[in-house]
Amino acid sequence: MTVSAILKQKGHDVVTVDARATLLEACDLLAARRIGAVVVVEEDRQIRGILSERDIVRAVARDGAKGLTAPVDSCMTREVVTCREADTIDRVMQLMTTGRFRHLPVADNGRLIGLISIGDVVKRRIEQVERDAEELRAYITAA
């Protein structure tokens, strides 16, 4: 299965935030949308960074509650690893494992066109394992 097939099911919507928003505003967004990360984009949806709940926890641990007034720009990750629509689930799992993160923006010429989370990957892998088991059961029963 490819990233393209996952996006066909889940859609291309991605929650984004402006680099000038405060961390508190980013927290509101994460809580309201029940997600763990937001992508920081410029006007033309060029990817500028990614901010996850872990970045916010780090900022609060370092600066206390007053750290929440800092801009997203001050603690987002700037070197964002992305994938493309043609990439396979195995490739996505490899990127997430190597990079130790749970979110992978999908890019087309640097522009954001979707996001794959570790939850999306696990869901598809479980479906695949269940399909394989069912085929094996059918094969054994028919034999």
Structure tokens at 17: 């935030």
Structure token pair of residue 140: 């054994």
Q: Which stretch binds ligand AMP (CB under 6 A): 3-11, 21-29, 75-83, 123-131?
A: 75-83
> Structure tokens of 76?
């987002």
Q: Does 71 bind ligand AMP (CB under 6 A)?
A: no
Is 102 a binder of ligand AMP (CB under 6 A)?
Answer: yes
Using CB under 6 A as the binding rule, whether residue 81 contacts ligand AMP is answered as yes
Closer residue to ligand AMP, CB minimum distance, 13 or 79: 79
CA torsion sign for 86, 118, 59, 98 is negative
Q: Which helix (H) or strand (E) holds 17?
A: strand 16-17
For ligand AMP, which is the closer residue by CB, 98 or 141?
A: 98
Beta-carbon contacts of 81 under 8 Å, excluding residues fewer than 6 positions away, are 95, 99, 101, 104
The stretch among 9-17, 59-67, 77-85, 123-131 that binds ligand AMP (CB under 6 A) is 77-85
> Which CB atom, from 75 or from 124, has the smaller least distance to ligand AMP?
75
Q: Give the residue at shortest CB distance from ligand AMP.
A: 52
Task: Confirm or reject binding of residue 103 to ligand AMP (CB under 6 A).
Answer: yes
First to last CA, the chain: 29
